[in-house]
């Protein structure tokens, strides 16, 4: 066990507190799922050392992408070596045959156990409990754990939220995604009023209504998960908000598109369509790809690296090459 505070290599037999600095380990005894150092590293990398405020889904997305199923190379080599020792020792009448047999048996058991291990991404409920345990210990700086925009920000921040000059409207299918975009200043940097399909934040809705009434060309974008209103994205528009003939662009994921985004490969293989949502993308990737998608008025899947998007009529849409192939090779952690 490595202490995330002082870097000391702590022995489990020495108890739950670091033998060097005295810090109490949150995950003790450590498990294959999580250690203190691993969770701290996950937070540091996903938040880019505090650059971004992040969602639990983004932590889970990074965790799932790097939680690979154990390989077979080591135990297979052990099995071969054990069999070789066993057969060779047996032919020579040497007691090393017994040792070889034991090695081969252990290697075989490991192979069977790894083959039986569940494939696909780890259980999100188990990960949620790990994060909750981390937060209960007073850790987790930078995590957006609950809605924070039910009331308008204080006067000192009003200019940032209200007076940036709305040029476009973005409707998302997740309340916490609004918090992520606002807390990371996407709304101000792109002059976008961001609201959820639920009508959250309520204090922004009058601003949206005024922006749409002032300019008939103000575009409205819809961003959603795969399988969520993908056939009727206008259903995401908050009740009572009239978009009329304003340009309406669907940025959201479609099931077919999401299955071709490399970042969703593990979820697609596990048929976990619900995980294929914008909020699971790394902060830098989501913010950058969303900026490009809105500027070019294209589905979010395109700047993420989908080679070809099919239009509803089956014809080819914009491809993912050239200037749009921006983020599929980018680091998970920004």
Averaged pLDDT for residues 306-310 = 41
Taking all residues of the chain, what is their mean pLDDT, rounded to a whole number? Answer: 78
Q: pLDDT tens across 80-132, in order?
A: 665 565 555 555 666 666 665 676 667 566 555 555 554 556 788 899 999 99
Asked if the model's pLDDT at residue 301 lies above 60, the reply is yes
Beta strands in the chain (DSSP E): 54-55, 143-144, 168-172, 192-196, 220-223, 248-250, 308-310, 316-319
Q: When comparing pLDDT for 166 and 263, which is higher? A: 166
Averaged pLDDT for residues 261-287 = 78
CB 26 within 8 A of CB 137: yes
C-alpha–C-alpha distance, residues 287 and 289, integer Å: 6
Tell me the DSSP string of 136-198. HTT--TTEE-S---SSPPPHHHHHHHHSS---EEEEES-HHHHHHHHHTTHHHHTTEEEEETT
Q: pLDDT tens across 41-53, in order?
A: 999 999 999 999 9
Asked if the model's pLDDT at residue 333 lies above 80, the reply is no
The ranges assigned to domains in the chain are 1-29, 73-116, 155-324
Q: Quick one: pLDDT at residue 42? A: 94
The share of the chain scoring above pLDDT 70, in percent, equals: 68
C-alpha–C-alpha distance, residues 282 and 75, integer Å: 34
Asked if the model's pLDDT at residue 268 lies above 50, the reply is yes
Best mean pLDDT range from 15-19, 198-202, 264-268:
198-202
């Amino acid at each position: 066990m490595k202490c995330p505070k002082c870097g000391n290599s702590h022995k489990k037999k020495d108890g739950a507190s670091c033998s060097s600095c005295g810090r109490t380990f949150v995950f003790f005894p450590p498990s294959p799922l999580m250690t203190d150092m691993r969770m701290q590293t996950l937070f540091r990398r996903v938040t880019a050392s505090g650059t971004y405020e992040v969602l639990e889904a983004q932590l889970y997305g990074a965790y799932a992408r790097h939680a690979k199923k154990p390989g077979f190379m080591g135990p297979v080599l052990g099995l071969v070596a054990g069999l070789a020792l066993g057969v060779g020792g047996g032919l020579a009448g040497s007691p090393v045959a017994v040792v070889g047999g034991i090695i081969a048996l252990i290697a075989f058991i490991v192979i069977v156990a790894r083959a039986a291990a569940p494939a696909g991404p780890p259980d999100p409920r188990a990960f949620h409990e790990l994060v909750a345990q981390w937060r209960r210990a007073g850790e987790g700086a930078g995590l957006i754990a609950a809605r924070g925009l039910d009331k308008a920000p204080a006067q000192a921040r009003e200019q940032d939220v209200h007076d940036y000059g709305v040029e476009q409207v973005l409707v998302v299918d997740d309340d916490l995604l609004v918090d992520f975009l606002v807390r990371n200043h996407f709304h101000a940097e792109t002059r976008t009023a961001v609201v959820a399909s639920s009508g959250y934040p309520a204090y922004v809705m009058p601003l949206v209504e005024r922006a749409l009434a002032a300019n008939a060309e103000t575009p409205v974008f819809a961003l959603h998960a795969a399988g969520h209103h993908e056939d009727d994205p206008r259903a995401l528009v908050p009740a009572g908000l009239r978009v009329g003939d304003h340009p309406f662009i669907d940025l959201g994921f479609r099931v077919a598109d999401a299955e071709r985004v490399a970042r969703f490969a593990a979820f697609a293989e596990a048929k976990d369509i619900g995980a294929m949502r914008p909020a699971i993308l790394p902060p830098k990737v989501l913010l950058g790809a969303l900026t490009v998608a809105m500027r070019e008025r294209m589905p979010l899947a395109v700047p993420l690296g989908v080679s070809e998007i099919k239009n509803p009529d089956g014809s080819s849409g914009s491809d993912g090459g050239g200037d749009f192939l921006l983020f599929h090779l980018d680091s998970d952690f920004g």
